[in-house]
Amino acid sequence: MLEIITYPNKLLFTRSQEVEKFDENLHKLLDDMYETMISSNGIGLAAIQVAKPLRIFLINLLNDKEEQNKEDLIEFINPVITPIGEGTQVYEEGCLSVPGFFEEVTRYDRIKVDYCDRFGNAKSLEADGLLAVAIQHENDHLNGHLFIEKLSFNGRKKLEKHLKNSKKSKK
């Protein structure tokens, strides 16, 4: 298990670097990130959340039966996202680096992602719905951004209250 860093840790606001070597060290990091994400009840995790500033994230959505199977895991390395059209969707997002806080965020409805797999093979996929939301959320981490930067006025008020309460309960 790796430690997941949480807001307001400064590392979360740094831009991650491209992966250059698709070697056993990368594979170990991907495997450790997967174990960390699953044991934290996550469906997405970026490398910066475990304090590794590399352009990597994982997504493992639940299937129709609400099961989270490793066969549905997608490892994105050096991803590049392109919106398809101008449609947007709103989804209530959460992040393992902002524990216990969930709020609506607006994102592109459909996207294309070009990325590499763990062996350095070029891949591409088109996504909509929850997968598109998750990819955009995780890709923001690679550029040092968190979903809480995209909140509405009321969402920000809700976050302030949440952060105050979490501070209190830590004391």
Among 19, 43, 95, 127, binds Co ion (CB under 5 A): 95
> Counting contacts by CB under 6 A, is residue 137 touching ligand Y12?
yes
* Tokens 């350095």, located at residue: 120
At 43 the three-state DSSP class reads coil
CA dist 4 → 29, 45, 88, 122, 145 (Å): 13, 9, 30, 28, 16
> Counting contacts by CB under 6 A, is residue 129 touching ligand Y12?
no
Q: For residue 167, how far is the Cα from the chain centroid?
A: 24
Among 93, 108, 146, 148, binds ligand Y12 (CB under 6 A): 93
* Shortest distance (Å) from residue 139 CB to ligand Y12: 11
> Counting contacts by CB under 6 A, is residue 87 touching ligand Y12?
no
Nearest CA to 33 out of 12, 15, 51, 13 is that of: 51
Buried-state track 83-95, b at ≥16 Cβ within 10 A, e below 16: eeeeeebebebbb
Q: Tokens representing 44?
A: 């997405």
**Which range of residues in 14-22, 62-70, 77-85, 90-98 is near ligand Y12 by CB under 6 A?**
90-98
CA dist 46 and 64 (Å) reads 24
* Residues in 45-84 at the binding interface with ligand Y12, rule: CB under 6 A: none
* Shortest distance (Å) from residue 49 CB to ligand Y12: 9
**Which range of residues in 5-13, 78-86, 109-117, 128-136 is near ligand Y12 by CB under 6 A?**
128-136
CA dist 83 and 47 (Å) reads 23
**Which range of residues in 12-20, 36-44, 149-157, 161-169 is near ligand Y12 by CB under 6 A?**
36-44
- The strand pair at 44-46 and 88-94 is best described as unpaired
- Counting residues that bind Co ion (by CB under 5 A) gives 1
| Footprint on this chain of ligand Y12 (rule: CB under 6 A) | 41-44, 91, 93-96, 99-100, 130, 133-134, 137
Residues annotated as catalytic are 138
> Could you list the residues that contact Co ion (CB under 5 A)?
95
